[in-house]
Every structure is written in C-alpha cells, then in structure tokens.
Structure 1
Amino acid sequence: MFFPTAGIEVNPFIPFVVAFVVSFFMSMGGISGAFLLLPFQMSFLGYINPSVSATNHLYNVVAIPSGVIRFIQEKRMVWPLTWIVVIGTLPGVLLGAIIRIKWLPDAASFKPFAGFVLLYIGGRLVLDLLRPQKAGQVKAEEAFRNLVKNFKETAQNQDVSSLQVVTVISKGLSKIEYEFYGERFSFSTKGVFFLCFVVGMVGGTYGIGGGAIMAPFLVSFFGLPIYTIAGATLMGTFITSFAGVGFYMLIAPYYPNLSVSPDFALGILLGVGGMCGMYCGARMQKHVPAKLLKWALAIVITFTALSYLSVLFH
C-alpha cells in the first residue's frame, strides 16, 4: 500500500501490528507509545518528512480514547491532575510544532534532538528505579494489586470497575491531594503546571503529546503511584495531540515546500492498531508489578535514544 504524504510503500499489516504491540506495553506506564512509533516510521519505514510529527499526533488522537475509557471505568482518573496536564501542555505543544517546522525540518537535525529527549526520559526512569521508592508509593501500589487479586478470586462475575480507587481530598491553586488505597499523595499545582508547559513544548517538537516525559516526572519527582497517573497523562496526550494535528494542518499552507500535514491513511492505520493495544494494556496494567513496567520503559527508551544519538559519531 502506498502512502502519498509519507512517500512510502508498506504492507498495512506491519504498521498495525507494530502499533498494537507498542501501545499494549507502553499504555501500562501511562504512555501512548508515540515516542517509539516515530523512530519506527523514520528508521524502518523511511518516513522522514516533518509531517511525521503530525502523523504521530494523529496516531495519539485515534489510539488513546480506548485506554482512557478503561481507566475511567476503573475509577483511576485523578481529574484535577488531568486538567492541569492538559492546560499546561497545550500551549507548549503548539510552540513545539513551530520549532519543528522552522528549525528542525530534516532528519539530520531532528534525530539528535529526538535522541536527547529519549535519553533524558530513560535516564529519569533509571534513576527512579535505582533510588529507594517512597514508602507511601510502595504501600499503595501493593495494596491496590492485592485488592485486585483478591477481588477477582472472590467475585468472579464482577468487574474491578465497581471498586472506588481514587478519592480527591482537596484541590486548589497551591496544592492538590488525593487518596489511593490508604495512602495520601499531594503535589504542587503550580509546579506541575510549569513542568507541563516545558514538557508540552518538547513533546510538540518531537510529535508526542508529552505523556512520555510527564509520566516519569510524576512518578519519580512528585512521588505519585504509576497506577493513578497513567489515565491523566494519556488524557493530556490525547487532547494536546488533537490540537497538534489541527495546528500542523493550519500552518501547512505557509510552508508549501515542506510536507507538514499528517498522512491520514498511515496515522489512522497506526491509530487503530494502537487503540486495540491500548485498551488491552489498560486492562492488564493492574496485574503487572509497577517496577517491572518502569524497567521495561527505561530499557526500551534508552536503547532507542542511543541508536539515534549514534549519528553524531559517524
């Protein structure tokens, strides 16, 4: 099948399967997997036009809702955190799109940038895994997994969505606090907002909504359980990616010599594969140890980053 905007020809089954596998595992960590699909499109499929970033955003728009719906059903959405992520990252994503078109239009300049972004994400995760985890995080995550296990054993015909998982205690401009299985967690509203703006700018340049960068920060720096931040980062990625697709299409006429608008056929194909994988991943997340999820993310991210940065030494 030929994809005209991308300028590539590939069996449509390949993008679908790759998107399914990537999104299945990455969604468990609150990440859509778009940051890995961009290297796949550039290095494996040969899609190196700037519009690959817009196509990556389109993948998020199609793929993410299934995972978000599952997290909502299981009552694991921390809504105050979700809206801060959305409001903070949105303007950053739009600025990132301009940076991508004006200063990083070709693969030679974009790959090192992408490599440094991925290396930073992987480094943050590794540091988090090597340092002692906060006691509250460990207790809450273990309590949740044990409850899910016991619930499944004693209530075969019921669904985990009937459990009340997250309870918001307070919300304000200075601090937000919520409870997750006997443990209370809080974070600075302004701190998360500022971080989201910076993350959104980097994510918009790369072609992701920013969840891949936000998730490690929320887990390691703010000490929030990965089981409670996944839904928020995915929702933020969805909304900002939706805006990113629209913005790339809006500015495309001003760059007639560049391929800026997304390849809709490829983006939707990737998105459908991601949609299926993300829903399955969201269902499986609660059965997988949080530490295993983090190590898997760290290894894949770091390997991809080093492969991109290797171009600097050739």
Structure 2
Amino acid sequence: MYFSTAGIETAIWVPPLVAFVVSFFTSMGGISGAFLLLPFQMSVLGYTHPSVSATNQLFNIVAIPSGVYRYWREGRMVWPLTWIVVAGTLPGVFIGAVVRVTWLPDPGLFKLFAAGVLLYIGLKMMRDLRKQSGRNAGKNNSEKRFQTLMKNWRSDDVTSRPSTVTGFNLRRLGFTFYGESYEVSFPGIFSLSFIVGIVGGIYGIGGGSIIAPFFVTFFGLPVYIVAGAALMGTFVTSIAGVAFYQAIAPFYPHLSVAPDWLLGILFGIGGMAGMYLGARSQKFVPARAIKWMLTGIMILTAAKYVFEFFK
C-alpha cells in the first residue's frame, strides 16, 4: 500500500503489527513507544520528511487513551501532577514544531538530533539500573505493597485508590501513595515539562519517555504514579502537536509537514491494543528486564544514527 504523504510503500498490516509489539513492551514502563516507532519509520520504512514527527504524535493520540484508562481504573492518576505536566509541555511542543520544520528539516541533521535524545535516555536508564542493582533495598515499602496488590488485583475492583492529593498550590504539590507522603516543587515540575515539551515537539514523541525518568530520578516520585501523568501529558500535547503541524503545513509548501493520517491511525490501532495488553501484563514481567531491553534498543539505535551521519 502506498502512503502519499509519507512517500513510502508498505503492507497495510506492518504499521499496526509493529506498533502493537513496541507498545506492548514499552507500556509496561509507562511509555507510549513513539520514541521507538520514529526510528522504525525513518530507518526501515524510509519516512524522513518533517511530517514523520506529526505522524508519530498522531500515533500517540490513538494509542494512549487505552493505557490512561487502565491507570485511571487502578486509581493511579494524580491529576494535579498531570495538569502541571500538560501546562508546561503545551507551549514547549509548539516551539519544538517550529524548530523541527525551520532548522531540522534535513534527514541527516534530524537523525543526529534523534541520536542525541535516544543516547541520553539510554545512558541515563543504564546508570539508574546499575545503581539499583547495587542496592536492592532501594525498592521502598510502597512499591512492595503495590506489587502485592497488583498480583491480586481484579478488573472489577475499583474501590481501593492507592494515591490521595494532600495539597496543591503554585509552590508545592503533595500527595500520598500507600501511606507514604511525597512533595514536589510546582515551578520545578513546570520548568522541566516546558523543556521536555520543546524536545518532544521536535522529536515527535510528546515527551513522556523523557519526563518519566526525570520525575523518578530527580524528584523521587514513584514510577507507578509517574506513568499515568506522563502518558496523559503526552496525549494532550500530541493533540496540540498534530493540530499545529497541520496548521503550519500551508506555510511550507516545499516540505511534507502535515501528518500522514492513514499511516498514523494504523500505527495507533496497533498501539492501542498493545498498550492496553501491556498494562495488564505489567505485573507478570520483571521491570528490570523491560528497562534493560529498552536501554539496549535506544543505545544501539542512537549509535546507528551517529554512524550513518558521519560515514
């Protein structure tokens, strides 16, 4: 099948199948999988136009709601944290879209930028995993209680809510997670979200795969809470990103800027199924195994892009 906007030809079953497999695994870590689908589109399918970023964000729009629904059903959505992420990333994603079509339309330069993003995330995850391996006690009591709960959790059991908001203003956000209290800086979360929004707008990933590791590492937030907020933030900003790319497309008649709607929806359908099933299967798969797998994929993909740029 030929996709005119993307300028590529592939079997109609390839996009949903690839998105299903990618999202099934990445959703276990609270990530949509868009950061891996973009290299697939560029390197395997040969889709290197600026519109690949918008198409990738269209995938997020279709795929993410099933994952967010699952987190909401399990009472793991801290909505004030979610809205801070959205408020910070929204303006950033517009800036990122302009940067993408104005300064990074060349496939080679964009691949180099993508390599930098992937390499940073991959090395950061590797460092965190190595630290954790040296101190198994780093798994706190709330995480142990959560894992015990999830092993016995049923889809019809929505009476237990593990998190409660204890305070929210323009300075601090406080909440509890299974009896343990957490407090984060409103300006800190907002500033980080803004920067991530710019990067996500350029790269076409919405920013969730970048912001989640930051929240866990620098703000000390539990990954079980961060995942839902990161995905929801990615969903909202992806809507804005797709709308913005579509709106500015007429101003760049010499470039393919607007998303390839059919290709993005096909990716999204596969991602929707994969993300929901991945969220359901999360409790049966060791988190460390998933993180090491993602780390390896990101570092190898980044190395490949750097090699292609300099060869």
TM over 0.5: yes
TM-score where L is the length of structure 2: 0.95
Unaligned runs of 5+ in 2: none
Select which of 223, 226, 230 maps to 1:226: 223
- In the alignment, structure 1 residue 166 sits paired with structure 2 residue 163: yes
Partner of residue 140, structure 2: 138
Cα gap change, 1:169/1:296 in structure 2, threshold over 3 Å: closer, same or farther? farther
Higher alpha-carbon deviation: 221-230 or 41-50: 221-230
Partner of residue 17, structure 2: 17
Cα pair 1:134 1:223 within 8 Å, conserved: no
Moved over 6 A (4+): 133-136
Q: Aligned partners of 2:81, 2:131: CA distance in 1, in Å?
A: 25
Task: Indicate the RMSD between aligned Cα atoms, in angstroms.
Answer: 1.7
- In the alignment, structure 1 residue 200 sits paired with structure 2 residue 197: yes
Partner of residue 3, structure 1: 3
Partner of residue 251, structure 1: 248
Residue type of the alignment partner of 2:291:
K
Q: Aligned partners of 1:50, 1:300: CA distance in 2, in Å?
A: 23
Q: How does 1:1-314 map to 2 (within 5 A)?
A: 1-132=1-132, 138-149=140-151, 151-152=152-153, 159-314=156-311
Cα pair 2:111 2:309 within 8 Å, conserved: no
Q: Deviations over 1:5-32 (max 9, x none)?
A: 0111101111111000111111121211
Higher alpha-carbon deviation: 78-87 or 291-300: 291-300
Cα gap change, 1:136/1:87 in structure 2, threshold over 3 Å: closer, same or farther? farther
Q: Deviations over 1:228-249 (max 9, x none)?
A: 1111000000000000000001
Count residues in correspondence.
309
Tell me the CA shift for residue 110 of structure 1.
0.4
Helix, strand or coil: the match of 2:48?
coil
Q: Aligned partners of 1:243, 1:191: CA distance in 2, in Å?
A: 23
Cα gap change, 1:159/1:293 in structure 2, threshold over 3 Å: closer, same or farther? farther
Unaligned runs of 5+ in 1: none
Q: Aligned partners of 2:166, 2:136: CA distance in 1, in Å?
A: 20
Helix, strand or coil: the match of 2:165?
strand
Tell me the CA shift for residue 158 of structure 1.
6.1
TM-score where L is the length of structure 1: 0.94
Higher alpha-carbon deviation: 87-96 or 159-168: 159-168
Cα pair 1:29 1:215 within 8 Å, conserved: no
Aligned-pair identity in percent equals 59
Helix, strand or coil: the match of 1:94?
helix
Cα gap change, 1:108/1:267 in structure 2, threshold over 3 Å: closer, same or farther? same
Tell me the CA shift for residue 131 of structure 1.
2.3
